[in-house]
A and B are shown apart, each in its own frame.
Chain A
């Protein structure tokens, strides 16, 4: 992956073997345990992962607020591991916004330009232009606390973007907003990113946010990157159990390979059941493999389905009406529980009731065998 990117030019941001350890109270916390990333110029790149997995630490090392214990940080090919934040060509949007409370909106946005001695006319033009972009023209004289949460968010964005950084780092910038505003700001952020065309590195623990906004996602867990791929691939082809579990709802199967034919491994979880999984090389008959199936790929029927599909038998344990769809919990013969989503596009009646014996089936390509 990194090689493919390098072919397209120097990556905007590159971390090589980066480790960050904090020591205190006699113990060492390994916040980041060896991260390699290459973020492309102009990319909307997300760091996604649960609380405490090291997202903020990784971002702060890119911004220069933390020095890596080991490893190298490069910005546009230049080693900046020892360069202080003030001298790095990236700007950060803080989760708390960190707007200067004693300054007006205008002065907040002008702060970076004043530090760099931009002359008065240009400064005024750029500040006003940026306030226009974030839709805050006319509010120049307000103090931050006289603005709503969403407006403060946009001031923070403007204050960073007005410096025309080569990359913008955003640490859970929408975390403090309510759902509606957050969705509006997601669209707004994407628009602004397209408009200014710079690299965005976006930290979030909200998988929906990461999936809708990103060009690529690095899924982090416990200080390591578990998968680095475009949203679709992360969603449909989770590389590890952790990714499968963290992104969306996912059904995990584990089984012994019964036989392999035409690149498809056949598993038999129960009598009459058959699960087909595309595999590449490695597993042999008798090996145990883990696989995932997304709930919306599964079809629920009363009769046994025909054709070359994966099919398993079970009993409906729960039916939940979700408005545009139904969610079924189906218990299999071996006790495992499977979640199935079914759109109610054609009829708004449930196709199975609680206690019904049913067949679940899905296309072989929707089974995905994972690494460990």
Chain B
């Protein structure tokens, strides 16, 4: 039996950098595969609607006649089903997660006008 078994580690920790990061002053480091929000390159999207069908949480709405593609980041569970199923490879997973918001809103992208309307 022993006591103070952790003393060495505790002493070492006094002189080490903290294990935690000072977020948000220090920005979060994402990996290549980190998952945040789904974004669409409207130039290549053909509005086929496959992503809408594949999405398990119905976060995507494709309006072919209206020429819009909408994703609700608050419904998305970052499963990548849509990204993997897009025949035109126009969807990408942006590592930055959706910013906190007072109200849940969807991001709509238009075929003709690429500006995001929130």
Q: Do A and B bind each other?
A: no
Residues of B within 8 A of A (CB): none
Residues of A within 8 A of B (CB): none
